């Protein structure tokens, strides 16, 4: 887990790093009474030092239940905002404030407010991958784990706006038979997978199962034998008798897949171009070094106005109540 190269890396602006970052982070965690929450898409070192690893729903639940005084959120900005919404009196740290989200950015608050005003009789169900401002304009929040379940609980006569991910919204429509009004947002990572290359991989690996996140394009989903949230994909590959999987989601999850199913092979679904664009550039902004400095200096801190926090809290609470 610890390497000499890692020990020698330094941040020239903040000072010299300790020789053993893992031990230093563990010491700071005790000093601060901190908990480290990490998404499955984080780099392996961060996953290995985290107290809790999960998808958006699991992390929201963990944030709601923690007794720690400090939450160090190794994920992207909207996830750390979610932790602050649920824990206004705790210090919430994000290793890199630039760790945003292309999907959240695709739904500007002013434009969404106008979109919502054009559909005044609609209930707003928003995917958790959105800013606190969008959450504050929503009636219910959902994640990819519970989106279908939540929409199924809403009376059929009630019209619904689903935001911001059009691909997840389209998948929910197919699963529920509901006609949703979709905001046309998307995730750059999940839109980059190549249908042609996945088909080629299936031909080259005829025994492999393709599994995919519902944020992927429908052209990719139709080749998947299982579609589910990040946590659901992880659970499925453990329980399936299949020994080889083509994984159409951010490849950070493969670290956990390999740990939990070491006898199986996991092949990351390739992007359209010969690049690393199937990796989320925002998730990868967080590093073990930045996590250490965030804890050492108690910054960058997530803050928001109390009005926005309270408005965003209500739909978050509805999600947690409807996901029991």
The binding site consists of 39, 56, 101, 127-129, 144, 187, 213-215, 230, 280
Residue 300, SS3 per DSSP:
coil
Query: Between 77-86 and 56-65, two packed helices, what is the crossing angle to 10 degrees?
Result: 30
Q: Which residues contact 124 (CB under 8 A, 6 or more apart)?
A: 116, 137, 138, 139, 140, 160, 161, 163
User: Which residues contribute to the annotated binding site for [4Fe-4S] cluster?
Assistant: 101, 187, 280
User: Which residues contribute to the annotated binding site for iminosuccinate?
Assistant: 39, 56, 127-129, 144, 213-215, 230
Distance (Å, whole) CA 168 – CA 171? 5
Q: Do 94 and 294 contact (CB within 8 A), yes or no?
A: yes
Q: Which residues contact 84 (CB under 8 A, 6 or more apart)?
A: 90, 92, 302, 303, 304, 309
């Amino acid at each position: 887990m610890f390497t000499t190269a890692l020990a020698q890396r330094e941040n020239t602006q903040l000072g010299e790093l300790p020789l053993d970052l893992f031990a230093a982070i563990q010491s700071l965690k005790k000093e601060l009474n901190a908990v480290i929450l990490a998404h499955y898409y984080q780099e392996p070192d961060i996953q290995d030092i985290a107290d809790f690893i999960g998808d958006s729903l699991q992390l929201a639940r963990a944030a709601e239940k923690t007794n720690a005084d400090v939450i160090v959120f190794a994920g992207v900005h909207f996830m750390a905002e979610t932790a602050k919404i649920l824990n206004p009196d705790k210090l919430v740290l994000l290793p890199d404030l630039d760790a945003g989200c292309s999907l959240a950015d695709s739904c500007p608050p002013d434009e969404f407010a106008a979109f919502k005003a054009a559909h005044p009789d609609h209930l707003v169900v928003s995917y958790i991958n959105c800013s606190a401002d969008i959450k504050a304009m929503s009636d219910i929040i959902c994640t990819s784990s519970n989106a279908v379940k939540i929409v199924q609980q809403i009376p059929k006569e009630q019209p619904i706006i689903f935001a911001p991910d059009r691909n997840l919204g389209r998948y929910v429509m197919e699963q529920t038979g509901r006609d949703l009004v979709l905001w046309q947002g998307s995730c750059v990572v999940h839109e980059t997978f190549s249908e042609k290359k996945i088909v080629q991989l299936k031909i080259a690996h005829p025994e492999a199962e393709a599994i995919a996140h519902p944020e992927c394009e429908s052209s990719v989903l139709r080749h998947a034998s299982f579609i589910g949230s990040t946590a659901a994909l992880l659970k499925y590959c453990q329980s399936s008798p299949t020994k080889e999987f083509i994984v159409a989601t951010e490849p950070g999850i493969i670290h956990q897949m390999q740990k939990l199913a070491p006898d199986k092979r996991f092949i990351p679904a390739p992007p359209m171009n010969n690049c690393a664009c199937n990796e989320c550039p925002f998730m990868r902004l967080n590093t073990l070094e930045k996590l250490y400095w965030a804890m050492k200096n108690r910054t960058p801190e997530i803050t928001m106005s109390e009005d926005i926090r309270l408005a965003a809290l209500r739909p978050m609470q509805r999600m947690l109540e409807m996901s029991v």
